[in-house]
Amino acid sequence: MKSIAILGTGGVGQTLASKFLDLGHKIMLGTRNVENKLSETTKDQYGNLPFKEWFATNKGVKLGTLKEAAAFGEIILNATKGSESINALKAVEQKDLEGKILIDIANPLDFSMGMPPRLIPELCNTNSLAEEIQRTFPKTRVVKTLNTMWSGLMINPGLVNKGDHDIFVCGNDPEAKEEVKKILKSFGWSGENILDLGDISAARATEMYLPLWLRISAATNFKPMNLRIVN
């Protein structure tokens, strides 16, 4: 049992929080302003119910500020919007990031030019969100994973093809990656379906997959989908 902080309270953060809770971990979600978050009454841009409705049915999940969550977690997940991730991480005590594993599952989506979203230009092709996080917080052990699929599939790979499809992991710290692989296995991922792509610069490859994922989803009626590598 670990203490896990999830920065970001959207649908992805909620899905992961529920799963970690089921697995017996202690969970705190972190948000900029707790009162504001609990007073929301409208659905978010993805159609998720107001946060308080989910929160009321997930007893045991704690809610705190970004700072409180980072202090709480032995492991920290970044599930904030990619456009806000660096600022969210700068808002916490830097000592609360040092030496810890930070699992970055965000994507640097840019909705400013309409749909489908582009990637944020400065975080694309010659850079990536995960690299930018690693560069900005060099003492944090950043591992990029889970960013290539719908959150329902992240924590329940068996939903499609009996779980036989692939997930990517990358990062500069081999031990951190092994810890993260254990977490993925606890979600139901088989070791054969976890592909280690190398150091954190491989995150630009998995983040640049986003446009293809979105196009494939649109062409296949938005059914839950993932990739299986065949060779």
What tokens were used for 135? 């560069």
**Using H for helix, E for strand and C for coil, what is the string for 50-115?**
CHHHHHHCCCCCEEEEHHHHHHHCCEEEECCCCCCHHHHHHCCCHHHCCCCEEEECCCCEECCCCC
- Binding track, positions 9-48, relative to its own copies; x by CB under 8 A: ----------------------------------------
Q: Is 178 in the site for its own copies (CB under 8 A)?
A: no
Contacts for 209 with CB less than 8 Å, ≥ 6 apart: 148
CB of 113 to its own copies, least distance (A): 7
Pull the structure tokens for residue 65: 């500020």
Amino acid in position 140 = T
Nearer to its own copies among residue 87 and residue 220 (C-beta): 220
Asked if 115 is part of the footprint of its own copies (rule: CB under 8 A), the reply reads no
Binding-residue pattern over the window 126 to 145 for its own copies, x denoting contact by CB under 8 A = x-------------------
Quote the CA–CA distance of 11 and 90 in Å, as a whole number: 23
Q: Which of 14, 127 has the CB closer to its own copies?
A: 127
Q: In whole angstroms, how close is the CB of 45 to its own copies at the nearest point? A: 21
Question: Which of 153, 117, 145, 146 has the alpha carbon at shortest distance from 225?
Answer: 153
Under the criterion CB under 8 A, does residue 205 sit at the interface with its own copies?
yes
Binding site for its own copies (CB under 8 A): 113, 118-119, 121, 124-126, 160-161, 164-165, 195-198, 202, 204-206, 208-209, 211-212, 214-216, 218-220, 223-231
